[in-house]
Amino acid sequence: MKKIYFVLLLTIFLGFVAGNKASGQPGCENCIAPWSCTTFTLTINCNGVDFPVEYTVCYFCWVTQSRVDAEITRIDGIPIGSNCYYAALQAAENWILEHGIELCGTLPCEIEVKTFRIYQPLCADEIRNPQTNTSMILLNNDCNWKCVSEWEWCWCSCDRTCKKPCCNRPNVMGCVHYELLGRYKETNQACPTFQESENITRCKEIETSCDR
């Protein structure tokens, strides 16, 4: 019993201190306190081509309930003219789930599970950079429609039943368990039409997991 209480206290403590602050980074201006901000870069394969993509994610670790909210606010580096937004969003979603401990602390599966809610933009500004032939997706509060995915999430030690194959690898003590509970759109409204300039499309419709 004492061991369980210790783990619970450790979990609450980690939930306070594990936030990865990245204020001042591109896109973090959209993260309003008490939300935190993190940035990261992933290599995305789309149509057989690898390219680096930078992300900004705002997130909030709830204290009153076992829940984490994470919103993708910036995606930078998608080749102009490609249809790689979906692949980039999927990669960001996987990163958030795999790195949930770094964001908000751990929670052992034998004690409880957290709910992760990940928000993907349905409408956002597309800003094109002709010099790099890439585009950036950036949150626009005038058309902030979202696709929401809900996940069951916890830390699974290898001496317990773990649904993921990571425990079959040598020198691995455990892994993050996550399972999709459902996806939904916050609204069925179409993206509003904004005037398009040479290198900017306001409120571009983005293909998300809700469309598949």
Pairing label, strands 114-121, 67-79: parallel
**Per residue in 81-126, pLDDT tens?**
888 999 999 999 999 999 999 999 988 888 888 999 999 999 999 9
pLDDT at 194 over 50: yes
Number of domains making up the chain: 1
Please give the Cα distance from 172 to 42 (Å, whole number). Answer: 23
Q: What is the pLDDT of residues 71-91, one digit of tens each?
A: 999 999 999 888 899 999 999
| Residues spanned by the domain of 80 | 2-211
Compute the average pLDDT of residues 50-63: 95
Average pLDDT on 28-34 reads 85
Phi and psi at residue 146, in whole multiples of 5°?
-135, 150
d(CA 101, CA 195) in angstroms, rounded, equals 42
List of E strands, the chain: 36-46, 49-61, 67-79, 114-121, 123-129, 134-138, 146-157, 174-185, 200-205
DSSP H or E stretch at residue 139:
none
How far is residue 200's CA from residue 95's CA, in Å, rounded to a whole number? Answer: 28
Instruction: Provide the 3-class DSSP secondary structure of residue 81.
Output: coil
Interior/surface letters 9-31, b for 16+ CB within 10 angstroms, e for the rest? eebeebbeebbeebeeeebbebb
With a pLDDT cut of 90, the percent of the chain lying above it is 51
Between 166 and 53, residue with greater pLDDT:
53
Q: Is the dihedral of CA 69, 75, 81, 83 positive or negative?
A: negative
